[in-house]
Amino acid sequence: LPDAVAAAEVRAGVFYVAGSTYEPSRLRHHGFPADVEASLSDAFRRLHLSGLAKDTAVEVPIGSIDDWPEILVSELHSAGIGHVLLLPIHIHSTQPRNQHRAMLTLFHDAPPGTLLDLGRRIAGVFAATLTIHEALEVARAATAETDAVLSAAVDAVVVIDQTGRIEIVNPSTEKIFGWTSKEMIGQNVRMLMPQPYRTDHDSYIDDYLRTGHARIIGIGREAKGIRKDGHVFPIDLAVGEIAPIGGRRRFLGIVRDISERKRTEHQLQEARERLAHVARISTMGEMASGIAHEVNQPLTAVATYANACRRILADGRTDDPDLMEGLIQISEEARRAGEIIHRLRDLVRRRPSERKACPINSVVTDVIRLAEVDTRLHDVRLDVHLHPNLPSVQVDPVQIQQVVLNLIRNATDAMETTEAERRVIEVRTLPTRGREIQVEVSDNGIGLPDNKAELYEPFFTTKTAGMGLGLSISRSIVNNHGGRLWHSTNPGGGTTFHFTLPVALGEANEE
C-alpha cells in the first residue's frame, strides 16, 4: 500500500484495505494526527463491512453517515475531509485459491468528484503490486522447493550452458567430486571428466547443437569421473536438455557414483570364477579313472616302443628302419599324452577370465577330445556336427569348454540305463537368425525329472554323487557371455540342451 500511495501522490488520507476475511490487513494515514486515526478505527471498520457487499465504487458524504458520532464527523470536516470512498478491488491470482475481493476505504481531502479517480489509481497500483508480490512469492517458493529437492538428492546434479560452463551444482556434487560449488560454478564441466571424455565432451555438445543428433543427450550410460584429488571413478551418467528460457539452451546432468556397485560386481565375478574353478577340479576328479586310462595308453605304447628300440640297438642294428619307426612312434605317443595333460592343465588352472575372438568349432573340437576320455569309458559314442564357416565368438574358451564338457557328462550319465548300442550323444554347432551362434548337446537317455524348474538351481542334483553345481554354473557362464542356456525334450526320448553365444564384433553371421 505505501507504494500505491506514493505512486498516486496522495497528500492526506486514511487507507484501509481488507481481504475476504473482512479483517483489516493494511492501515495507513497521512496528514492526520494520531488521535484522529484512533477515533476513526471503529467507525470505518463498520463502514467497511457494510460496503463489502457492494460491487461498485461508492462515494459517501461524511455528513450522511447516521451512526457516526457527531464529534468524529466534526473532526473530519475540520481536517477538510468531506467524503469517504468505498472501492472494491478484485485481486486476480495465478492460484485459484488466492483469488478474492478486497475493499479500499479512502478518506481524503480531495475535491468532490476527484476522489473516485484517486482511489482507482491507488487501487490499480495496489492490485498490480499484490500480483507482482504473489508472483515473487510463488517464484521464491518454487526456488525453495527446487533447492530442497537438489539438496536431498543423493546423486550429483549439474546444470551447464551450451558452452559447457557450470551454472548450478547441488551438495552431492561437492561430496562426490570433492570441489566446492564456488570452485565449480563458472568453470567448464570438463573439469569433472578424465580423458578421453574431457576431449570428447565439447564435440558432443557442438554436434548436438548443430545437427540435433543426440549421441549422449537423453540417454543414460556408464562413464568415468575424476575427483579433485585426481582419482578416477566409475559413474552412471544421464544427460537431458532443459526447456530453453530466453533463447538460452542448458543441459542437466545427473551423476551417480557406482564405485561400490562395481566393487561388488568384481567381487561377485571373482566368486563365480572361483566356483567355476572348483567345479572344473571336481569334474576332473570324477573323470580320474578315465583320464588315468587315457594317459596310460600312450605311456604304455612309449614303453613298448622304447623296449623294441633298445633290443634293436643291443643287437647292433643301428641302421634298421624299425629303429627309426619306433622312435617316431615314441614321439607321437608322447605328444598324445602331452596333449591330454595340456588340456587338463588348461581346465584346472586358476587364472583371470580372458575373452577373445575364437572360432566356436575349434573350442568345441578341443573339449570333445577330453570328453571322449569319459564317454569311451561308458561306451557312449560322440557324433559331432560342426556347421562350416561360422563366425567367431567373443568368449573365454576355457569357460565355454567347461559348459560343453558338463553338458556332455550330464548326457552320459542320463544314458546309464540305456542299451550300449543306443548310447549316442550328438554335439552340434549352427547359426541362428540373429547375431548369435548356437551349440546343442543331445542325448537319448531317460529324460528329465518332473521338477525341471529346479535343474538350474545350485546344489540341485538327480545323481547319487556330485555337488549339483554343473548346470547352475553353466547357465551363469553363458549368461555372463551374453547368451542363454535352456533345454527341450526330444520327440523320441532324451533331452537336448541348447546355448547361444553372441558373434564377435566385426563378424557376420551367414544365416
Give the DSSP per-residue string, 107-119: EE-PPTTTHHHHH
* CB contact at 8 A, 230 and 133: no
Q: What's residue 293's pLDDT?
A: 58
Domain 153-257 in the same topology as domain 2-148? yes
Could you tell me how many residues make up the chain? 511
- Measured between its terminal Cα atoms, the distance across the chain in Å is 82
Q: What's residue 401's pLDDT?
A: 87
Residue 90: phi and psi, rounded to 5, are: -95, 115
Q: What's residue 306's pLDDT?
A: 81
Residue 114: phi and psi, rounded to 5, are: -100, -10
- pLDDT tens, 66-115? 666 676 677 777 766 777 777 666 666 555 555 555 566 666 666 666 76
pTM of the model: 0.51
The domain made up of 354-511 has a fold known as Heat Shock Protein 90 (3.30.565)
Tell me which architecture the domain covering 2-148 has in CATH: 2-Layer Sandwich (3.30)
Q: What's residue 213's pLDDT?
A: 67
Q: What's residue 442's pLDDT?
A: 93
Q: Which amino acid is at 399?
A: Q
The domain made up of 153-257 has a fold known as Beta-Lactamase (3.30.450)
Spans of the chain, pLDDT less than 50 = 20-27, 52-53, 459-460, 464-468, 511
* CB contact at 8 A, 15 and 27: yes
Q: What's residue 23's pLDDT?
A: 47
DSSP assignment of 23-78 equals SEEEEEEESS-HHHHHHHHHHHHHHHHHHTT-SS-EEEEGGG-TTS-HHHHHHHHH
CA-based nearest residue to 380, from 408, 404, 412, 405? 412
Q: Which amino acid is at 261?
A: R
β-pair partners for 156:
255
Q: What's residue 15's pLDDT?
A: 56
**Residue that the C-alpha cell 640297438 belongs to:** 313
CA 488 remoteness from chain centre: 35
> What angle, 0 to 180 degrees and rounded to 10, lies between the N-to-C axes of helices 70-78 and 34-51?
110
> Alpha-carbon distance 324 to 321, whole Å?
5
Q: What's residue 24's pLDDT?
A: 47
- Domain-wise residue ranges, the chain: 2-148, 153-257, 264-352, 354-511
